[in-house]
Structures are given as C-alpha cells and as structure tokens.
Amino acid sequence: MRPSEQPLAERLRPQSLAQVIGQSHLLSEGMPLRVAFESRTPHSCILWGPPGVGKTTLARLMANAFDANFISISAVLGGVKEIREAVDMAERYANTPGHSARTLVFVDEVHRFNKTQQDAFLPHVESGLFTFIGATTENPSFEVNSALLSRATVYVLEPLNNVDLNNITERALELIGSVKLSEDSKETLIAFADGDARRLLNALETLCMMAQHEKISTVTVEWLTKVMGQRLRRFDKGGENFYDTISALHKSVRGSDPDAALYWLVRMLEGGADAKYLSRRLIRMASEDIGLADPRALSVAVDCAQVYERLGSPEGELALAECVVYLSVAAKSNAVYTAFNQTKALIKSQGTLPVPLHLRNAPTKLMKDLSYGAQYRYAHSEENAFAAGENYWPTGMTPSEFYKPVERGLEIKIAEKMRWLKEQNEKASEKAKEASSAKNSAQKA
C-alpha cells in the first residue's frame, strides 16, 4: 500500500522517540522507558493503558532502537498456532546470518490470551530467545498470569491530554493541507476524542474527506456536530474503566458528596452504561452504606428502579439522579452490613449447630412427644410483647453481638431500644438466678 493510501493514523505514526506526543512520565529525560531506549537494553514489559495512547507505537520504536527483529501477534485474532509460528521465526532469526540476534515479540491485547497461551511464552522469555512486549487495555493484575507478570515490567500509559491532542491535530492538518478547523470545532473534536489519538485521527480523516467532497475549506463547529452526530465518550462497558467508574460513584455516595456522585452517574449514563445495572447498584448502596440509619433509602432506591423500568431512557434517568442525591445526603451506617459479614464468618467457623428444642416447630404429635416447641415463650403473651431472658441461640453457644447501631439517623433510636431490651434481659437473668438460688436453698433445707 502506498503511503498516501494508508489511514491517517498510520501515516502519522511516530518514526522516532522525538516524534512521540504524550507519556512524558515515561519518556522524559531520566524516566524509565527513556532510560531503556537510551541504554539500548531490551527487557520484557507490558504496556497498560486505554486505546489510542501509543502502545503499539512504543513497541515498534523499541524494535528500532534495540536493532531487533519485530514480530507482532494480535491476541484477538491469534492463538497457539500464531505463538508457535512466532517462536519458529525467532529461532530462524537467531540462526540466520545477517539478521539481528535480538527479536522482539509484540502481543497486542495480550489479556485476550488464556492462561495456557500466555504460559507458552515463558520458556522462550526465560531462555532469552526473544523479548516479550504485551499491550493491554485491562488491568494486568487480573488479566495476565502471575508467572508472565513477574518476568515483565508494567508501564502504565495515560490518556492523552488536550494539549497533546491539539498538537496531534495540528500535525495532522499540516499533513492534509487542504482543510482547516475553526478553534471551537477543534475543541469539540478533541473533547470527542476523549484522550484517544486514534479516535481523534479517524474522526479528523472522515471530516476532512467529507469537507473536501463538499468543497468546505474551514470546518465549523455546527458542520462538525451535524456530521459527527451525538457527542460520545469513551466508555468500556465491561472492562477496567467500567469498574473504576462504578467504584467512584459508590464511594462518592458513601462519602456523602451528592455533586461528585451525580458527576459519576452522568458519566456512566452518557457513556452508555446500562441504567438497570446502575439502579441495582443503588439498591446495594442503600443496604450497605445507609442501612437502618435511614430505612427510607432502600425504598427510594427500589422505587427508582421501578420508575426506570416504566419510563426507560431518557425520562427514567432523572429518577436515578434523584436517588443518587438522596443516598448521598442520607445518614450513613454499615452496621447491618458489618453484622451480616461477621455472622457469616462465625457460621463458617462453627458449622451448623442444632436448633434448640424449644425453638423447633411441632406440627405433628411425634414432634410434640419429642418436646419440639416445649417451654417456648410466646412473646406476644409477655409484658411489652418481650420474653425477657429467653434464649434464641443454639444450646451451649455464647451469644454474640453482631449488630451495633451507630449514633446516626434512626439507629440512634434503635440503639436506645436495644439498650432497653438488654436491661430487661439482665433483670430477667438476675431474677432467674435468685429463683434458682432460693430453690436450691429450699431443697437443702
């Protein structure tokens, strides 16, 4: 393919380290990757970052800087067969005069390979047959197996900022030559790119092609908006970015910051996140972080989900916003959540203890004959509808205090009620001890 027929992003791909825009935290003087380039000493690494920030470009530049043979594999399209072919090719390079002794194997989207496929690289990385470089948009901690991860340095690439994207736009327009962008249309295009240079250049190439076809010399923001349609944000509906953003929403609600919570909610909605998923997460937040400090929060969250079910988007999204604000400003308590987890841990450690006879149901004569339900005290027949001193725990088990209400919201009242119940139980226990002592004294007499 002739250079003029290549996509704009490929024509603008940097051919030297000096042409790279962005990633100054890795490429500035004295920074890790810069030192690796200058030392001309290759080492296995994983380039982790969002799309369009230069992962493939850096891998290719490494091959040039290290005077290494470059073998590229796409984990999206490849498998064990392609890995074997890469190994065979590296071995041929190593044994063929005239070729560099060094080979760099670049695996794009390495997280797409399963554990077995990733393991196939290990012996050849260990032997020094080739240097492994992986590129991934997903967190390597979760997506790259530990054996391979331990043999590679992870470099985190960041989204390109507006200054970087502006410089790339200027470089692209200089190459195209026949079309200009007004300042506000340039700002709109950069915002549309959202840190992704490839997205920026693909959109710019489309715009310039259409502008040339319509004989437009300067692209205005009105024309750009008409051509590009609704402005979109980069949003990974299932990957690292998704879970980072939902985490930010949850923590903003927990931290009682309604404005930040709204920001993250709208970020997700605008990016195409499933609003039904968001409504389920809001119900979870109401249970986990608010609990009985404000029981209405759970009702608000459930109502919000039902409203969205009825209205859908965009009308139903306002209910989600209302719910997020309510949950953010509500009194907070994780007392029930903590109690629930502590109870699970206790049951896991102690196993399944039998239900005491007086708490068992007795629907048959045999069960009654076996004393099921015998001596059970019906709370509604007791003073204050409370059977003070009754034991509801397995026989011989020391009662635990899992639920400890906080001094916020309704749990202040709940704590008062629990203190009163505890006092009644202690009084009943004292009376029982006194009665038992008196009985023992009478028997001795």
In this prediction, residue 1 carries a pLDDT of 54
Q: What is the pLDDT of residue 232?
A: 44
Burial-class residue 349 by CB neighbours within 10 Å (0-12, 13-18, 19+). Answer: exposed
Give yes or no: residues 253 and 216 share one domain. Answer: no
Check if the beta carbon of residue 330 is closer than 8 Å to that of residue 294.
yes
Same domain, 152 and 245: no
pLDDT in tens, 11-55: 999 999 999 999 999 999 988 899 989 888 889 999 999 899 999
CATH (domain of 301):
1.20.272.10
Q: What pLDDT is recorded for position 118? A: 93
Q: According to the model, what pLDDT value does residue 14 have? A: 93
CA angle 248, 406, 343 (to 5 degrees): 80
Q: Is the domain of 38 the same as that of 124?
A: yes
pLDDT tens for 266-306 read 989 887 788 999 999 999 999 999 999 999 999 999 999 99
The answer on 147 and 27 residing in a single domain is: yes
- Tokens representing residue 146 in the block: 């530990």
User: How many domains does the structure of the chain reveal?
Assistant: 3
User: Three-class SS of residue 273?
Assistant: coil
Instruction: Look at residue 155 in the predicted model and tell me its pLDDT.
Output: 94
Q: Which residues pair with 47 in a beta bridge?
A: 135, 155
Residue with tokens 């002794």: 101
224 & 253 share domain = no
pLDDT at 434: 81
Quote the DSSP letter at residue 137.
Answer: S
Do 85 and 131 belong to one domain? yes
Question: How far is residue 307's CA from residue 290's CA, in Å, rounded to a whole number?
Answer: 21
422, burial (CB in 10 Å: exposed 0-12, middle 13-18, buried 19+): exposed
d(CA 95, CA 88): 11
Q: Is 3 part of a structural domain of the chain?
A: no
Which distant-in-sequence residues (6+ apart) come within 8 Å of 9 by Cβ?
197, 198, 201, 202, 205
Instruction: Tell me: do 35 and 139 sit in the same domain.
Output: yes
The low-confidence residues of the chain, meaning pLDDT below 70, are 1-4, 99, 229-240, 444-445
> Can you give the pLDDT at residue 209?
87
Element (H, E) at 103: strand 103-108
One domain for residues 218 and 278: no
Residues of the domain holding 223: 176-228
Do 89 and 130 fall within a single domain?
A: yes
Tokens of 53: 């920030």
pLDDT (0 to 100) of residue 445: 60
Q: Return the pLDDT at 379.
A: 93
Amino acid at 411: E
Question: What pLDDT is recorded for position 4?
Answer: 62
- The structure's pTM equals 0.65
Query: How many CB atoms are located within 10 Å of the residue 11 CB?
Result: 15
> What local confidence, expressed as pLDDT, does residue 21 receive?
94
Which residue bears the tokens 């470099």? 155
Q: Are residues 152 and 261 in the same domain?
A: no
Report the distance separating Cα 112 and Cα 119, nearest Å: 13
Instruction: Provide the pLDDT for residue 243.
Output: 81
